[in-house]
A and B are shown apart, each in its own frame.
Chain A
Amino acid sequence: MPRQLRVVLAEDGVLLREGLIGLLARFGHEVVAAVGDAEALRAAVAVHDPDVVLTDVRMPPGFQDEGLRAAVALRAERPGLPVLVLSQYVQRDYAADLLDSGDGTGVGYLLKDRVGQVEEFVDALDRVAAGGTVVDPEVVRQLLRRRRDPLAALTPREREVLALVAEGHSNGEVARRLVVTEAAVGKHIGNILAKLDLPPAEDTHRRVLAVLAYLQA
């Protein structure tokens, strides 16, 4: 059972904000502050020092990418602050900006629709809060559509593995989803890291670098 999280929520739609508060409460998480714009989000984080921030991309007053900007700024101020960003529309530039912030850990970027898959959504929030990296499968799909990228050297199976790693899954979870052994996954990841020319270092960090390479291809 994941620990109880103290969440600061930023979402300008009242309907969705109330819904999310209820949803998180149901899974034992506490929304310590629910705000409607980026300015209030930064203030609330300063006051409450939450375990994780959950924010929408588009918010008043400009309805552009204020939420994302605030998330990036917050992570610059407080390295290691986990942030999960929700967006009506996924685009890899947003994801890349987010993953560039901090050291790329404890960060997530999901299509807003995913909140409907209640359990997976809360699971993603837990993973982000625990320092994981979660990238929406839609972003991954967008990237796979690209023909010209440095990932061309990867085999289809290695791409699948990398896609799942980008979504923030552990080796065990990847193995379960692809119905292979965990050792096989480890071998694939080793090949991926070698092919992407990533230096041997602490494992989580290399995984993040692989995801970054993936996004910035």
Chain B
Amino acid sequence: MEACDVRQALFLRPWRYPLGAWPWRAAGYLVSGVGAGVLVCAVLLVLLVASLLLVGIPLLLFGGIALGGAERLRLRLVDRRPAADPHRVPAEPGLGAWVRERAGERATWRELAYALLLATVLWVLDALVLAVAAGVPGALLATPVLLAADGHETKILKAVLVTSYPPALAAAALGALLLVALAYPLGLYAAGRAALTRALIAPRERDGLGEVIASRARLVDAFEAERRRIERDLHDGAQHRLVALSMTLGLARLDAPPGGPLAERLARAQEEAGQVLAELRELIHGIHPHVLADYGLGPALADAADRTAVPVDRELDGLPRLPVAVESAAYFTGREALANVDRHSGAARARLTGRHDGRVLVLTVEDDGRGGADPARGSGLTGLADRLAVLDGTLTITSPPGGPTVLRVEIPCRVSSASSSPRTASSSAKG
């Protein structure tokens, strides 16, 4: 495996490290670091003076942004993994939008902090490490050359007097050894320095990811709330009125002369009202089944299994009440899986199990069908996998050709506080 940064080069093959390019890259990183540091220090001093006149403050910010770009490039010397630009693209074109966007970003302020750190501390440290790790061995190595140039004597590091070639050559040999030995701390320092730089000026992946997860969770919650609202509206509105209509028709039938055309028409009208009610009931059940809200996951899944054409063995005993989002996601995934058993598997039998061990809900749906299920192809499970992902849950499907197909859902969750309700105690055992 090729090392992709200096730290890996150090730890993966330490014996080959001094022979490769990495010590040179580390040294180059520090040399350019000193150069950049001195430059930034000078620019900062000028800008600080200018800031007293308020002109410098925006320049200071955007100087930081420019430095960030340069530093991300320089980072490539010791770390081949790309450091992406942490800045967002402004929503609108134009300088004003750009300035507003940048001024509001954390990344901008982190880059400024990095610039201050570089100008004050980092470049000095870089220079010190370079002086020790490269300067000392360099001076030792140069001893014979300096002796030859002077002809009579030379002082190593201005301390040890050397007057003849044997000690000078010994010093050079020591210098070579030291150069190799000090390449390790040099690399270590460069790795640490690069990690610090990356932490400050590269995007924090968790930042972005957290935002995405939170927004997805909000969407799922909103969908869930909307489903319930639609279900309630249908229940309180259309369903209610239809029942009242059916009752009125029923009463009218009592008044109509029996066997006459009026009684017949009223009967037909009532029958149609009944069919609409039945359809509406199925629709509402599909949107958000009452049994899920009232009795929880076990009875709701047992109900879904009842509605499956393929016979389903079930082990759902003792499932506690879980958070609403978990129950809902698990229920709809289980129902979709059972529907797929009916539609695609050709199975003669299926098996549904649900367990909660106090920390994780595990739901499995197995069938003895032909297998070869492709979750990516319109099975409706991909959307549910997204829904599970929001809850940190996972969906795995194994379906070799020839079967069996096993679908497994895992959602980490605690028992909901509503679990003490007596209704679960009496009903969950009946799955």
- Measured CB to CB, the residues of A under 8 A from B are 13, 15-16, 19-20, 22-23, 26, 57-58, 63-65, 68-69, 88-89, 91-94, 96-97, 100, 112-113, 115-119, 121, 142, 145-148, 216
Q: Which of B255-290 contact A (CB under 8 A)?
A: 270, 273-274, 277-278, 281, 284-285, 289-290
B216 within 8 A of partner (CB)? no
B423 within 8 A of partner (CB)? yes
CB atoms of B247 and A115 under 8 A apart:
yes
Closest residue of B by beta carbon distance from A15: B244
Closest residue of B by beta carbon distance from A62: B293
User: Can you list 20 residue pairs at the A/B interface with Cβ under 8 Å?
Assistant: A16-B243, A19-B247, A64-B294, A65-B290, A68-B294, A89-B281, A91-B291, A93-B295, A93-B303, A97-B427, A112-B243, A113-B243, A115-B250, A116-B249, A118-B250, A118-B253, A119-B254, A121-B250, A142-B303, A148-B311
B398 within 8 A of partner (CB)? no
Q: What CA separation (Å) do A100 and B244 show in the bound complex?
A: 30
Q: What CA separation (Å) do A116 and B266 show in the bound complex?
A: 11
For A22, the chain B residues whose CB sits under 8 A away are 251
For B291, the chain A residues whose CB sits under 8 A away are 89, 91, 93-94
Q: What CA separation (Å) do A112 and B243 show in the bound complex?
A: 7
Mark B221-251 against chain A: 1 for CB-CB distance below 8 A, else 0. 0000000000010011001110110111111
Closest residue of A by beta carbon distance from B305: A146
Q: What CA separation (Å) do A26 and B254 show in the bound complex?
A: 10
CB atoms of A96 and B430 under 8 A apart:
yes
For A112, the chain B residues whose CB sits under 8 A away are 243
CB atoms of A13 and B244 under 8 A apart:
yes
Closest residue of A by beta carbon distance from B296: A93
Q: What CA separation (Å) do A16 and B235 show in the bound complex?
A: 13
B254 interface neighbour in A69, A93, A118, A148, Cβ under 8 Å: A118
B243 interface neighbour in A64, A65, A115, A145, Cβ under 8 Å: A115
For A91, the chain B residues whose CB sits under 8 A away are 290-291, 295, 299, 303
CB atoms of B247 and A26 under 8 A apart:
no
B307 within 8 A of partner (CB)? yes
CB atoms of A89 and B284 under 8 A apart:
yes
CB atoms of B427 and A96 under 8 A apart:
yes
B85 within 8 A of partner (CB)? no
Closest residue of B by beta carbon distance from A86: B243
Additional A-B contacts beyond A16-B244, A89-B289 (11; CB < 8 A): A22-B251, A64-B294, A69-B423, A88-B284, A89-B284, A93-B291, A113-B243, A113-B274, A116-B249, A118-B251, A118-B254
Closest residue of A by beta carbon distance from B248: A19
For A121, the chain B residues whose CB sits under 8 A away are 250
A146 interface neighbour in B290, B294, B306, Cβ under 8 Å: B306
A83 to chain B minimum Cβ distance, whole angstroms, is: 17
CB atoms of B430 and A116 under 8 A apart:
no
Closest residue of B by beta carbon distance from A66: B294
CB atoms of A20 and B306 under 8 A apart:
no
A72 to chain B minimum Cβ distance, whole angstroms, is: 9
Q: What CA separation (Å) do A116 and B245 show in the bound complex?
A: 8
Closest residue of A by beta carbon distance from B429: A216
B426 within 8 A of partner (CB)? yes
Q: What CA separation (Å) do A117 and B271 show in the bound complex?
A: 10
For A147, the chain B residues whose CB sits under 8 A away are 311-312
Q: What CA separation (Å) do A145 and B310 show in the bound complex?
A: 10
Closest residue of A by beta carbon distance from B430: A216
B313 within 8 A of partner (CB)? yes
For B299, the chain A residues whose CB sits under 8 A away are 91, 93
A101 to chain B minimum Cβ distance, whole angstroms, is: 10
CB atoms of B303 and A23 under 8 A apart:
no
A116 interface neighbour in B274, B284, B294, B295, Cβ under 8 Å: B274
A117 interface neighbour in B241, B250, B285, Cβ under 8 Å: B250
Q: What CA separation (Å) do A92 and B427 show in the bound complex?
A: 10
For A146, the chain B residues whose CB sits under 8 A away are 306
For B430, the chain A residues whose CB sits under 8 A away are 92-93, 96, 216
CB atoms of B240 and A13 under 8 A apart:
yes
Given A13-B244, A64-B294, does the pair A113, B278 have CB atoms closer than 8 Å?
yes
CB atoms of B426 and A97 under 8 A apart:
yes
CB atoms of B313 and A148 under 8 A apart:
yes
Q: What CA separation (Å) do A117 and B232 show in the bound complex?
A: 25
Q: What CA separation (Å) do A145 and B309 show in the bound complex?
A: 8
For B277, the chain A residues whose CB sits under 8 A away are 113
Which of B246, B273, B307 gathers the greatest number of chain A CB atoms within 10 Å?
B246
Closest residue of B by beta carbon distance from A120: B250
CB atoms of B232 and A63 under 8 A apart:
yes
For A19, the chain B residues whose CB sits under 8 A away are 244, 247-248, 251
Which of B274, B278, B306 gathers the greatest number of chain A CB atoms within 10 Å?
B306
Closest residue of A by beta carbon distance from B295: A93
Q: What CA separation (Å) do A216 and B274 show in the bound complex?
A: 28
Mark B47-78 against chain A: 1 for CB-CB distance below 8 A, else 0. 00000000000000000000000000000000
Q: What CA separation (Å) do A63 and B232 show in the bound complex?
A: 8
